[in-house]
Each structure stands twice: as C-alpha cells, then as structure tokens.
C-alpha cells in the first residue's frame, strides 16, 4: 500500500500527547510543529486515525507544501499540485479555511479564492473540460501559512473530531472532548484508580475517562467526509478499523469515576451524555458542592475544569470557590489534583503552588494546567 503523509492538527501545547497516540497506532512521525503533527501511513491511516485518536482535531491528507510570497506564486504552485490524483472529475472541492501566521500573504479570503482558481485550472487541463458539476463527494481543502511556507491538506474528517456524538447538549463553558481526553492523558491516571471531577458540568472529563477505561474508540459512532472517497480509500479499510475498535472495547469492567456539580439540571445532561456514550454504568454523578468534596479511598485523582470567571459577575465568586476547593483537597492527603483554568489567582486561593504547570490553549483562551501531585501508592506485593 502506498504511504502518504497525513496532518493531525491539535490544541496548542498538546503536540506531545498526540504524537504518542499516533505512534501507538503504529505510524511514523515525520514532523511536529505548533498545533499539528504530521505522520506517514497508507490509506488505512485515514480510517484508523479518525476512529482512534482522542486528542486530534481532524485528519488531513497532505497534498502539498511550498513557499509563496506573492499571490501569483501561490496560484502557480497550487496549480502544480496533482489535484487530479485526489479529486475525481465530479468531486466537490473548495478551500474551506486558510490560516496565516507571520506570512506576507495574510488575507484568508484572497488565499481561498486564488487557490480555488488554481485548482480549477489544473483540473481543466487534466480532465479536458471547462465545467465541473461538483455533485460528487466532498474534498474540502485547508491551508496553513507559516512564515511564507504554505501547507495544503484535504480534510478527511468533516465535523471536528472533538464531536464524538455523545454531547448534543452541553452545560455552561464546556471543555472540548479532545482537550478533556488530553488532560487525562497528561496525568498518570489509570482505570484502576479513583477519578473525581468536582466541577463536572455536562460530564465531559468523567465520560472521556470512562471511554478510555472501557477502550471505546472516540470516533466509532460517527461519520467522516472521507468515507465517500471511494476513488482513494477502499471501503474495506473503514470496516476493518471499526471491527478493530469493536474487538478492543470492553465495557464489562468496574471503575470508580465520579462527577460532582452544584447544578442539578446540568447533571441531568451529564447523565444523558454518559448514556449516549455507553458509559453511564461506569460513572457516578452526584449533586455536591466543592466544599463537600470527599472520598474514603486513597491515592485518587481530581481532574477538573473549574469556572474561570470569564464574565465579570462570576469573577467575584472565584476566590471563595478556589479556597474551598483547596481546603477540600488538603483533607485528601494522598490524592493528586489537576486543574485547567485561566484564573490568574488560582494557586493563591487554592493555597498551594503547583508542582508543575503547563500552558495550553482552550480555543483562543490561554490557560494553565496546574498539577498538584500526591504520594505514589505503595507497590502491591506479589
């Protein structure tokens, strides 16, 4: 099988987590950059990456990479890409997004328009036609410009991979599913250990943890744009990837994963989301204030996305909230806590300086992932 290059964009700061995921699938990493990881694999890679990767935003088939400092250069080099290799004569094609950083070409709408014209000119010369019906499968193109280097990819995914399909309804300020998964993967938590989210909202962090514990592939119950690319990807690769996902899944396990929130209505949403994800039997949701955070078990994990106070009326409540969180955590003397927040006084009111913190971007919002590590549990005697 011919190997291609594939691009997996991700949240800034999570490249190392995504890289490890891709390597665990057995693919060769060719490049790691801010916000994306490029890897090599056959056409089956599109299917397996879309279905199994928890932290990627989408999977792009890399069509070209070149330097362009003028729109004429952008046109000519886009025209040199062998589009007929990827897009059939009746394919629907357009430049769905262009992003430019520190490049002389910076107008997204101009970049999109010029590249579309170049694609049309190339395909006219290869298909010997002046008109394309574009009534077939979709081939949306995404373009990144970084310091005048243009990277062109065709989107295999469609709706972003963070949309697992289990969360049609979300509470206030929900965390994206792929970011939630990445936060869990940045901790030493394993399915045998306790996990509590005291600000669980619509349940994303507990649900992602339960899906990991049960080995449920995040993309196994949704559709992808490239499923219609029958000119490139044989249907058998999709069937094989889904079969692989079913073979790995094990929901007959026991876990201690808990989600607390003070909002009873949002907990109803969390329970519904967990049921849609097939993991409601693995999570205990309860209405509880953070001041009541407790657990009889030892060496547990708190992984959470507490309120940031982005709205002024909420900001006044944050000192008390983080203080109560810190006081409750100190009573759990063998536990570890991990929280993502943009609140600049988080450590001050939590009452402890983090052992580590990691800068991450939650959308365009700069946040920190504070890590308060507890003691390791004693090794089990054989």
302 close to 331: Cβ distance less than 8 angstroms: no
Residue 170 binned pLDDT confidence (cut-offs 50, 70, 90): low
1: pLDDT confidence band, cut at 50, 70 and 90?
low
Going from the C-alpha of 274 to that of each of 148, 195, 206, 214, 264, the distances in angstroms are 45, 15, 9, 13, 15
pLDDT beyond 90 at 68: yes
Q: pLDDT by residue (tens digit) across 253-266?
A: 999 999 999 999 99
**Which tens digits make up the pLDDT trace of 120-142?**
999 999 999 999 999 999 999 99
Secondary structure class of 315 (helix, strand, coil): helix
In the chain, where does DSSP find H-type helix? 15-24, 44-52, 71-80, 108-127, 177-185, 204-213, 235-248, 264-277, 312-315, 318-331, 346-350
- Tens-digit pLDDT profile for residues 307-361: 987 666 678 899 999 999 999 999 999 999 999 999 999 999 999 999 999 999 9
pTM of the model: 0.95
63: phi then psi, degrees, rounded to nearest 5? -100, -25
Distance CA 233, CA 237 (A): 7
């Amino acid at each position: 099988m011919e190997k291609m290059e594939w691009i997996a964009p991700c949240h800034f700061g999570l490249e190392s987590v995504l890289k490890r995921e891709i390597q665990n699938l057995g693919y060769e990493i060719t490049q790691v950059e801010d916000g994306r990881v490029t890897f090599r694999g056959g056409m089956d890679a599109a299917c397996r990456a879309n279905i199994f990767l928890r932290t990627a935003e989408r999977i792009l088939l890399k069509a070209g990479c070149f330097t362009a400092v003028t729109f004429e250069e952008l046109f000519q080099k886009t025209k040199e890409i062998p589009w007929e290799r990827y897009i059939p004569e009746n394919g629907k094609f357009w430049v769905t997004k262009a992003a430019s950083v520190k490049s002389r070409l910076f107008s997204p709408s101009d970049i999109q328009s010029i590249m579309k014209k170049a694609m049309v000119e190339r395909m006219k010369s290869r298909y010997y036609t002046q008109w394309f019906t574009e009534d077939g499968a979709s081939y949306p193109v995404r373009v990144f410009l970084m310091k005048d280097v243009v990277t062109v990819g065709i989107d295999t995914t469609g709706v972003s991979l963070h949309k697992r399909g289990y969360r049609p309804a979300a509470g206030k300020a929900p965390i994206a599913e792929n970011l939630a998964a990445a936060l869990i993967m940045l901790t030493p938590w394993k399915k045998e250990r306790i996990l509590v989210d005291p600000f669980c909202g619509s349940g994303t962090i507990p649900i992602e943890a339960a899906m990991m514990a049960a080995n449920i592939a995040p993309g196994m119950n949704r559709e992808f744009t490239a499923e219609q690319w029958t000119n490139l990807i044989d249907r058998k690769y999709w069937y094989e990837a889904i079969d692989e996902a079913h073979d790995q899944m094990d929901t007959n396990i026991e876990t201690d994963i808990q989600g607390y929130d003070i909002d009873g209505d949002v907990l109803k949403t969390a329970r519904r989301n967990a049921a849609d994800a097939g993991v409601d039997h693995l999570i205990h949701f309860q209405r509880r204030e953070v001041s009541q955070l407790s657990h009889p078990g030892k060496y547990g994990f708190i992984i959470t996305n507490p309120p940031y106070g982005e709205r002024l009326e909420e900001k006044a409540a944050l000192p008390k909230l983080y203080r109560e969180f810190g006081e409750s955590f100190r009573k759990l003397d063998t536990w570890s806590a991990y929280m993502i927040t943009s609140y600049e006084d988080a450590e001050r009111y939590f009452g402890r300086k983090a052992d580590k913190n990691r800068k991450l971007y939650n959308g365009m919002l700069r946040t920190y992932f504070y890590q308060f590590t507890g003691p390791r549990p004693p090794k089990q005697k054989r």
